[in-house]
Structure 1
């Protein structure tokens, strides 16, 4: 059990609180197009406001690489947040300069200011102590409620804890509690579903879950590397050749210990990677002139059958190119199947959440994680850089 310093132990009335959040949301045409991560922070912001905190909110957006990029400004995020809160949010086009410092000193109890994109300063991603020191000047207490950033050794996540009393916020506390439960004390049977394209990010985790999960399901583009390792024809589908041997070893290990590791048995393929491409149903193997873009109906039925009876489900990664209507039914089918279960269900990853929101059944899931890469890394090793920084600060106080 991780004993992180709890935000409820922090005295905040009349205190400037630097609240690290994860507002890394899609912005198009100056408007936030998916406000899920903003909505998840509303309870935190509201409670701190009611408790009389003077809030200095900080986040990153995108990858500006230490430079000012107009399209990655947090100004549209401030506007969207203000609408969600129905309360003023003071946006400052500054991070650690005099403008931000003076505004932080003028804050009254319950007021909120949002800093400009942290990554506009190269010191953020370098975990630079001097940048963190300047950031700490804006506040008297620090709360990290950005679980999705805890795997980053960045200044607003790690170095900042050297200069301010530091606490974990409610999202961080809940995420770590839920994921530790999945990792170490799951309800049985435990079913784990992996999809998406990133074999490199998940193959070690698949091997780890061979020891603890009762059922493992692999779909999405990453499944083609496993199918190719079995000698199944996958046509022009995406295969990571450098992981073929590891995938083969994983399949052999699953067979040796009698663990279910299910792969697609049919596919929705096409001749090109295009939303307008004509879908072709392929049974078992994919011809050389086609590439797989979704799992087929037989696979949806089999995966759904394997999920029945599960008491806990972890799902990360879509089953196909769900953004394109013609290749979305596999992901939609798995979302419906998990949503119908009487199980504790956890979903993580931006694409998975976007898919579930698209099909309108997100409320049927027990817990929706705000972290993608952070959640996957936490499941492998809970002591992420941001968590270690909070624990070290607690141990020195």
Structure 2
């Protein structure tokens, strides 16, 4: 796909409708984590520097087309003003008149778009109403790009459109990792269930050279190979599917890597008594909670032999110690290789970001996506409406 960026647009004197994701956590009316706000600052600053007037479009929560005062974007204004280091005009009523009063150097924020039932219905009428407010459309919300809503899809077709800096970075990183990667490519896929990541696995085995499977998903694959997994989390009804994926991967020269040794315990709790056993020797009364040291060593070797890494999901029960060991060790090794220029590393998904942050590895990865569902759907090979609408 080809999309335009801010560099391709003449923004001087133009009202720039800028779709952002500022769906941030709040407590008692105060923003508690400004990460998503901080990430839109480069786009807003660049629009201002080019003489444009940013009009921010966003949603908050799920008001389902109703005005829900607790989901107003008004309380976000102080955090936005701090991030942009200037005042922000909040518009909660007559959009047209208020936007018409804006001048160069101003920043405006419209009230929660999902207060209007047309937003989530991708209503053309609502998109027309929004389009009349601006001259140019910028999408900087990759995390909402998998939704065909008025502000992400219909609006992009009604005005000259481009990607903002955050969207540009996200698309460039993902295109580089999956569409035209440096090879060999290794993907790490973890998580609880195979059933929730079937599309992802099916797509990846056709695009990567190595697929490392961890977490509860690995237990399902081990069980499908006839190995005992004790009381481990595993989807035994997915055994045929797991075998089909392994057979297909073998036929197209994608090497699937499963644990060769595992950490087992009798209960799922922090610092539970545990031991390391071969992956085919889990006792009947115990559960697999992490990959073992030999597996960690093998994964490190795969990373060292690869040029590109895509990561989605932890390798074990990373939420509780010491079962975060494999995830932390693999993440640290990937970060070290990336920092030394030997590996391009792209990661995404809520659990993944939390795991990499917990391992103090996130900062050294090439790119970390906070997009969640959109990141996963991209990895699954699906067309994202908000991205497709930008195709020039």
CA distance in 2, matches of 1:164, 1:325: 51
CA distance in 1, matches of 2:321, 2:67: 36
Uncovered stretches (5+) of structure 1, i.e. residues with no partner: none
Distance 1:295 1:117, change over 3 A: farther
Aligned to 1:63: 62
Q: Offset at 1:245? A: 1.9
CA distance in 1, matches of 2:25, 2:191: 19
Structure 1 contact 279–326 (Cα < 8 Å) conserved: no
Q: How does 1:93-108 map to 2 (within 5 A)?
A: 94=92, 97-98=93-94, 100-108=95-103
**1:209 aligned to 2:204?**
yes
Uncovered stretches (5+) of structure 2, i.e. residues with no partner: none
Q: How does 1:1-397 map to 2 (within 5 A)?
A: 2-69=1-68, 72-92=71-91, 94=92, 97-98=93-94, 100-197=95-192, 199-241=194-236, 243-271=238-266, 273-274=268-269, 276=270, 278=272, 280-283=274-277, 284=279, 285-341=281-337, 342-381=342-381, 383-391=383-391, 394=392
Distance 1:211 1:165, change over 3 A: closer
Distance 1:361 1:238, change over 3 A: same
SS at match of 1:318: coil
Q: Offset at 1:223? A: 2.2
TM-score computed with the length of structure 2 as normaliser = 0.87
CA distance in 2, matches of 1:365, 1:33: 25
CA distance in 1, matches of 2:124, 2:51: 29
Distance 1:36 1:230, change over 3 A: farther
Q: Offset at 1:142? A: 1.0
Number of residue pairs aligned between Structure 1 and Structure 2: 386
Q: Offset at 1:382? A: 6.1
Distance 1:115 1:294, change over 3 A: farther
TM-score computed with the length of structure 1 as normaliser = 0.86
Q: Offset at 1:86? A: 2.3
